[in-house]
Amino acid sequence: MNKRGTETGKRNTPIATLIKNFINKKSGKVSDSREEILWRFRYLDWKDQKKIILAFLDSCKTDRQWAYSMMLDYWDISFELKVKELWEQLHEERCSWVVIRHFPVKYLSQNLEQFTENRDYFFVSLRLAVDENYIIKKDKLSLTDYLSVLHHTGRHISDDEAKDIPYILVHKICVEGFSGYERQLDRYADSRRGIVISPIHFQDVNLALYYLRNLDCSHIVSQFETWNAEVQKTILDSPEYKAVAKSDLDEWDDLNARINIARKYAYLALDDKYKLSSDPDIEEVLKPKGWCVETILPKSKPIIPSDASELQDPSMLKEMIARNTALKNLVDRFRLVINKDNIPF
């Protein structure tokens, strides 16, 4: 016997009694009954599960949230009237999930503007777009969600529309700031130190290509892969990538640097029609993330005359100090006096 059941002495209490005690808020046993019901729920008969879900729908918000989650998989038409009442009165997000998944398509269509939370429209459109006469509101979906809806509802996409999508996504990645770079990479992307990160490694781009293949646009995917290969070659030959490869950056900074290099050269390789007049300077986009060419590329060494005897002239040495701020600061710090007698040459 479960140790917890032995301690509470509730294991042998009939489920009907537990439900009764839970519903009666003056029973003094609401909390204990709730705990026991939740522990048993998945092992009960369907008739008891339905009673429990309805009881929780009539309870506090926390209990309703649990009931909504259960109804995603444990649905019965007998719930519809109560859920409709709660949805129209409270508009709770989890309740919307139930409505979107289980309510008639006609109801979803009539109440379309009510589904405004996060990705509600994506899930609504997955059901509505099965009807070929339904016009998908593309502006309410991300590009990857739009492709997903087309794919899952048996729709098609024209070549003219399809060919632009990967490049639009690349543009977005290049110019928009985001946090958690590693989460922007496709989960299967090889991001080990020394590997070139290219546009195709970003998760939205890779996901779009996946859907385009499934929408019979493999020829468009091949064209993008050819473009990506050219960008990858440019990155590999770039001074930034070569500098990073020789640097001793920690793993996190190394990955971020390679991602930013990919963003820079991907943007530069984009056709002008994918760029906007409002785009910031690509170098400026990268700087707020703590990386730019100046911090990665090797510093140039100062040119020192090959004939050190020329420095025997104090005026020449003073001129050299005047041009070199670091050297000037050093001289000032130690209050050095430059004359012919103290030049060690």
Q: What is the pLDDT of residues 306-322, one digit of tens each?
A: 454 444 556 666 666 66
- Residue 34: CB atoms within 10 A of its CB come to 20
Contact 178, 221 (CB under 8 A): no
Q: ∠ at Cα 57 (54, 58), nearest 5°?
A: 95
pLDDT at res. 187: 81
Ranges of the chain with pLDDT below 50: 1-3, 5-7, 181-182, 288-294, 298-306, 308-311, 343-345
Distance, in Å, from the CA atom of 292 to the CA atom of 257, rounded to the nearest integer, reads 8
Per-residue pLDDT, 323: 67
C-alpha pair distances (Å), 159 with each of 33, 165, 230, 281: 59, 10, 22, 31
The residue with tokens 């029609």 is 273
Alpha-carbon distance 261 to 264, whole Å?
Answer: 5
Q: What SS3 class is residue 185?
A: strand
Task: State the Cα–Cα distance between residues 108 and 303, nearest whole angstrom.
Answer: 74
- What is the Cα–Cα distance from 90 to 85, expressed in whole angstroms? 8
Neighbour count for residue 208 (Cβ, 10 Å): 25
Half-sphere exposure of 248 (CA within 13 A, CB side): 0
Nearest to 282 by CA among 261, 257, 256: 261
- 3-class secondary structure, 202: strand
> Residue 339's pLDDT is what?
59
Residues 6+ apart with CB under 8 A from 76: 50
Res 343: pLDDT:
47
pLDDT of 118 reads 75
**Residue 180: half-sphere exposure toward Cβ, Cα within 13 Å:** 4
